[in-house]
Structure 1
Amino acid sequence: MGVRTGRHVTDKWAKTIALLSHPKVGSHIPLTKPFGADQLRSMLDTYWMVIIKPVNGSGGVGVMKISRTPTGYAFSYLTGTRYYTDFGSLLAAINKQRKGKPYLVQRGIFLAEVRGKPVDYRVKYVKTGSKWRIKAFVGKIARPGLFVTNIRQGGTLITAAKGIAASFSDNLVEVKKSKMRELTILSTEIIENRFPGVSRLGYDYGIDKQGKIWIFEVNTRPQ
Structure 2
Amino acid sequence: MQSFGIISINNTSELEYINEIAAYAVKSGFHCYRFTPDAVTPNKDTVPGLAFDSESGEWISAEFPIPTVLYDRCFYRNEQELKQYSPIINWLKTRTDLLFLGYGLPNKLAIYDTLKTNPQILPYLPETTATQHVQEVFKLLRERESLLLKPVFGSQGRGIFVLQKKEKQILVKTVKNTTIIEREMDSEKTKKWLNQLLASYSYLAQPFLSLTNAKQQPFDIRILLQKDENGKWIERGKGMRIGKEQSIISNLAGGGIPYSFEDWLEEVAPEKQEFIQAELNELIQLIPTALEHYYHPLFEIGLDIGIDKRGALWLLEVNSKPGRNVLLTVKPEMEKIIYEAPIKYAIHLLKGISKGERIDGEVLSN
Whether the TM-score (by the shorter chain) exceeds 0.5 is yes
Give the equivalent residue in structure 2 for 1:27.
Answer: 123
CA deviation after TM superposition for structure 1 residue 145, in Å? 4.2
Give the equivalent residue in structure 2 for 1:163.
Answer: 264
Do the aligned residues in 2 keep the contact of 1:72 with 1:83 (CA within 8 Å)?
yes
Question: How far does the alpha carbon of each residue in 1:42-79 deviate from its partner, in whole angstroms, 9 at most, with x for none?
Answer: 32222222111111111101111111222321101111
Q: Is residue 134 of structure 1 aligned with residue 232 of structure 2?
A: no
Question: How far does the alpha carbon of each residue in 1:91-123 deviate from its partner, in whole angstroms, 9 at most, with x for none?
Answer: 322343456111111111111415331211111
TM-score, normalization by structure 1:
0.90
Do the aligned residues in 1 keep the contact of 2:215 with 2:245 (CA within 8 Å)?
no
| 3-state DSSP of counterpart to 1:23 | coil
Query: In the superposition, relative to structure 1, how do residues 208 and 105 fare at CA in structure 2: closer, same or farther (>3 Å)?
Result: same
Matches within 5 A, 1:75-114: 75-78=172-175, 79-86=180-187, 88-98=188-198, 100-114=200-214
Greater shift, 157-166 or 17-26, is seen at: 157-166
CA deviation after TM superposition for structure 1 residue 164, in Å? 4.2
Q: Is residue 118 of structure 1 aligned with residue 214 of structure 2?
A: no
Say which structure, 1 or 2, has more relative contact order (CA 8 Å, 6+ apart).
1
Give the equivalent residue in structure 1 for 2:293.
Answer: 193
Matches within 5 A, 1:144-159: 144-159=245-260
> Structure 2, unaligned stretches of length 5 or more?
7-70, 72-100, 324-366
Aligned-residue Cα RMSD (Å) equals 1.9
Higher strand fraction (1 or 2):
1
Q: Is residue 208 of structure 1 aligned with residue 313 of structure 2?
A: no
Question: How far does the alpha carbon of each residue in 1:172-200 deviate from its partner, in whole angstroms, 9 at most, with x for none?
Answer: 22320220121122122111111122121
Q: Is residue 6 of structure 1 aligned with residue 102 of structure 2?
A: yes
CA deviation after TM superposition for structure 1 residue 32, in Å? 0.4
Matches within 5 A, 1:60-71: 60-71=157-168
Aligned length: 221
Do the aligned residues in 2 keep the contact of 1:114 with 1:163 (CA within 8 Å)?
no
Query: In the superposition, relative to structure 1, how do residues 117 and 132 fare at CA in structure 2: closer, same or farther (>3 Å)?
Result: same
Greater shift, 146-155 or 111-120, is seen at: 111-120
Do the aligned residues in 2 keep the contact of 1:39 with 1:105 (CA within 8 Å)?
no
Do the aligned residues in 2 keep the contact of 1:119 with 1:140 (CA within 8 Å)?
yes
Q: Is residue 174 of structure 1 aligned with residue 274 of structure 2?
A: yes
| 3-state DSSP of counterpart to 1:111 | coil
Counterpart of 2:154 (choices 57, 70, 78) is 57
Do the aligned residues in 1 keep the contact of 2:126 with 2:316 (CA within 8 Å)?
yes
Do the aligned residues in 2 keep the contact of 1:119 with 1:163 (CA within 8 Å)?
no
CA deviation after TM superposition for structure 1 residue 208, in Å? 0.7
Letter of the 1:32 counterpart: T
Aligned mates of 1:164, 1:46 — CA distance in 2: 34
TM-score, normalization by structure 2:
0.57
Give the equivalent residue in structure 1 for 2:140.
Answer: 43
Letter of the 1:14 counterpart: A
Query: In the superposition, relative to structure 1, how do residues 68 and 184 fare at CA in structure 2: closer, same or farther (>3 Å)?
Result: farther
Aligned mates of 2:245, 2:5 — CA distance in 1: 37
| 3-state DSSP of counterpart to 2:240 | strand
Bigger radius of gyration: 2
| 3-state DSSP of counterpart to 1:80 | strand
| 3-state DSSP of counterpart to 2:238 | strand
Letter of the 1:219 counterpart: N
| 3-state DSSP of counterpart to 1:120 | strand
| 3-state DSSP of counterpart to 1:178 | helix
Aligned mates of 1:24, 1:121 — CA distance in 2: 20
Query: In the superposition, relative to structure 1, how do residues 97 and 165 fare at CA in structure 2: closer, same or farther (>3 Å)?
Result: farther
